[in-house]
Amino acid sequence: MTSDTTDATDGDRRPVHDARALLKGGRTAEIVLDDEAVYILRLTRSGKLILTK
């Protein structure tokens, strides 16, 4: 699964992205917002995701 949509609890549809696809086999990925802010998506050893600025 790379990108799809799912029903949110309020009835709106939102995109769904596979975190492992975003990480492309690594443990971190950069996410850019509006060509300015860069966020780091990190996969911990315990399999949890952390998003930091």
pLDDT at residue number 12? 80
DSSP state of 47: S
Q: What's the pLDDT tens digit per position in 17-51?
A: 999 999 999 999 999 999 999 999 999 999 999 99
pLDDT at residue number 1? 53
pLDDT at residue number 3? 56
* pLDDT higher than threshold 70 for residue 9: no
Residue with structure tokens 């850019």?
Answer: 32
Q: Which residue has the higher pLDDT, 21 or 10?
A: 21
pLDDT at residue number 41? 98
Pairing of strands 37-43, 13-17: unpaired
Q: DSSP characters for 7-29?
A: E-TTS-EEEEE-HHHHHTTSSEE
pLDDT at residue number 40? 98
